[in-house]
Amino acid sequence: MKVLMLYDYPPPPGGLPTQGDMLFRGLREHGVDAHAVHYESAQEKEWYYRWFKPDVAVGVGYWGHTPHLVLHPKRYGIMPVPWLVADGFVAKYHETLNALPLIFVTSNWVKDVYIRDGLNGDNIKILPVGCDTDAFVPRDPNDPKITSVREALGVEPDQILILTVGGDAASKGAQEVMQALAMIDNKAPNWKYVCKVWPQPRTLKQNLLDLQLATQLGIEKKVVYTTNVVSRNFMPYLIGACDIYAGPSHLEGFGMPQVEAGACEKPVIGIKAMAMLDTLVHEKTSYLAGVAQEIVRNAIGVSRKGEDENRTHLITQAPRIVDYRPSVQDIAKYLLKLMQDATLRRKMGHEGRKYVVSRFDYRVVTKRFLTLINEHLGVL
């Protein structure tokens, strides 16, 4: 079988590029003839279609990328197999996607969103994102690479480091985590909360709002926002440096940092909704906070070229849940349990790694991909 991977290639250290690159790596390790190309590079994609003649073009993205991932390869007679996440609402391309023999999505929640918004679902199969469990591993707290991360972040050896990673922190639940930490501050051991975010105009604005909240809560000296471009080489050590990973996200189609934290044997705080019902096990690998609020919209903002300030609005036929908010009280309760009990942290982290290795290791995901491709397309 010959596979052409369409994703953000060469991959920057983001969720979708990592998703594509882990499958690409797994395919080549399994002996599959595979090449990768940037999903928007029409000329280079056509070049591969003509000489490589792939059996399938596997494209990583969301429904808005359909012209790049589906329509373009179809135009040249190549079978497209999109591997999609969800951004809260599916606005168009229903007929095109329904006509495909096979679509992969990253979680049961993503499949539910696509069906809710008009796809029939018969051609949708679950394929989780692969994790590099050789890089994301438990590490000795005294490893110089780990202690150097903590020192650079201003974290003392005796402090409990709570970490959140994302394009921005608020959408990953950071404001609710800060509110929870303020509630338990006088009961908890010495702690520091670090939010690693990606530098972009939207994030800088959100960081200011988040830090204002920290000041209002009186915990600003214990909250660190770090806004830097980093590579995938650094991430295993950043996650390895924390004691607890907190990611009770508002919208999550898979939740790669939560899975990577599990691979590093870190206990996770999540939310009892969306993809985290697939990737985390409450009271075993994680604590899942209850849903305090479901954000419902009739008017759904559809972004043009990814710019928040240049949006149209689609009026849906019925209200849609587009966002979730975790219970601050639950986060506070679970954080305090973990912060006060190192044995519990180790036990939960150990279970987390076993769960990730068995279900989300990129080699396991690649085998599932090959099985599903053979069952539904018969191209092996």
pLDDT digits (tens, 9 = 90+) for 320-330: 888 999 999 99
- pLDDT over 90 at 230, yes or no: no
Structure confidence by residue, pLDDT tens digits, 76-135? 999 999 999 987 788 899 999 999 999 999 999 999 999 999 999 999 999 999 999 999
User: In this predicted structure, which of 40-54, 175-189, 218-232, 342-356 has the lowest mean pLDDT?
Assistant: 218-232
Region 36-49: what's the mean pLDDT? Answer: 98
Top CATH class of 144-359 equals alpha beta
Give the pLDDT band of residue 205 (cuts 50, 70, 90): confident
Residue labelled with tokens 């607890």 = 244
Look at residues 230, 239, 245 and name the one whose alpha carbon lies nearest to residue 139.
239
CA 298 to CA 237: how far, in whole Å?
42
User: What is the token pair recorded at 304?
Assistant: 């043009």
Is residue 221 pLDDT above 60, yes or no? yes
pLDDT attached to residue 304 = 44
* Beta strand extents in the chain (DSSP E only): 2-7, 33-38, 56-61, 79-84, 103-105, 124-126, 160-166, 191-197, 223-227, 244-246, 268-271, 286-289, 291-304, 307-326
CATH code given to domain 2-130+361-377: 3.40.50.2000
Q: Is the dihedral of CA 40, 253, 355, 145 positive or negative?
A: positive
Query: For position 306, what pLDDT does the model report?
Result: 43
Tell me if 220 sits within 8 A of 214, measured CB to CB.
Answer: yes
Identify the band that residue 172 occupies on the pLDDT scale cut at 50, 70 and 90.
Answer: very high
240-265: pLDDT as tens digits: 999 999 999 999 999 999 999 999 99
Looking at residue 320, what DSSP letter applies?
A: E
Domain with CATH 3.40.50.2000 in the chain: 2-130+361-377, 144-359
**pTM (predicted TM-score):** 0.93
Which tokens hold the place of 323? 């966002």
